[in-house]
Amino acid sequence: MKPIEEAIPVVEMRNIKKNFGAVQALRGIDLALHHNEVLGLVGDNAAGKSTLMKVLSGAYIPDEGEIFLEGKKAHLSNPMDARRQGIEMVYQDYALANNLDVAANVFLGREVVRIRLGPIGVMDHRHMEQETKSLLNRLKIDISSVRQKVERLSGGQRQAVAIARSTAFNAKVIIMDEPTAALSVAAIDKVLDLVRELKAQGSSIIIISHRLEDIYQVSDRMIVLRQGRKVSDTPVEGDIHEFRERVVAYMIGARDDFREKTVAG
């Protein structure tokens, strides 16, 4: 097996820039995500985390820069483009249909049709339910029935369904935007266990989070953004107190690994 430094990244973003009027949201950011890696993306509010991931997921088109998927240049003009190329984003609000059951949510927008009569299609509910059960079992997600409506699930279970949906169609990259926000301690632990399980099964994951403890527990590497720039790209190591102090120093501008490079360039 090649060392991680030599392997072609599953995702590479080069010199990504994005402006909203006079506001420079992203100022030339480079990001690489390797196969079977969990990458933590942190920074203060308005640092550019969500904007960068919306570029990767096709929701925003960058003003400058390039994106490569497994070494090949990618053109992501909308979220469906990104999904077709294996990039899935799990949003903080889950983006689930509460009035539908678990299986219907997993296949939402990708329903399996059993019979088509002209413009009318009859969905194969049995197949979708069986596939959903298999998916939940594989990811060790504890939900009593895939016919249960999402509105009756706990916050942690809803997040688990949203994450499971993102993995159901051979995703190359899973982006999670604040996956543990507003969850109980027990639910947070279950979501983090799910992230570990996904990594154990070979997934490549990017996690945006304000909870540094979550990043510390599950991430292999961490990128810190500040005011639209990347200021750190380092392995997650050391004890939690040292890690937290180091991240905060980057977030407030006390440290900047790329300052000289940026000024010189």
User: According to the model, what pLDDT value does residue 6 have?
Assistant: 57
Axis-axis angle for helices 185-200, 155-167 (nearest 10): 20
Q: In whole angstroms, how far apart are CA 128 and each of 28, 60, 86, 107, 231?
A: 42, 31, 20, 7, 44
> Per the confidence metrics, is the pTM higher than 0.85?
yes
> What does the pLDDT profile of the chain (265 residues) look like in tens digits?
334 445 899 999 999 999 999 999 999 999 999 999 999 999 999 999 999 999 999 999 999 999 999 999 999 999 999 999 999 999 887 789 999 999 999 999 888 888 777 777 788 999 999 999 999 999 999 999 999 999 999 999 999 999 999 998 889 999 999 999 888 999 999 999 999 999 999 999 999 999 999 999 999 999 999 999 999 999 999 999 999 999 999 999 999 998 755 444 4
Identify whether 68 is part of a domain: yes
Establish if 38 belongs to a structural domain: yes
In angstroms, how far is CA 161 from the centroid of its own chain? 14
Q: What share of the chain is helix, strand, coil (3-state, %, to 5)?
A: 35, 30, 40
Residue 81 lies in a domain: yes
- Residue 60 domain flag: yes
DSSP-derived pairing of the beta strands 87-90 and 23-33: unpaired
Count structural domains, the chain: 1
Give the pLDDT of residue 127: 94
Q: What is the CATH classification number for the domain harbouring 192? A: 3.40.50.300
Does some domain include residue 226? yes
Q: Is residue 215 part of a domain?
A: yes
- Residue 247's domain comprises 11-97+171-264
Asked whether residue 164 is domain-assigned, the answer is no
Q: Does residue 2 sit within a domain?
A: no
Q: Name the residue with tokens 């960058």.
A: 62
> What's the mean pLDDT when you consider all of the chain?
91
Q: What would the pLDDT profile of 188-203 be if each residue is shown by its tens digit?
A: 999 999 999 999 999 9
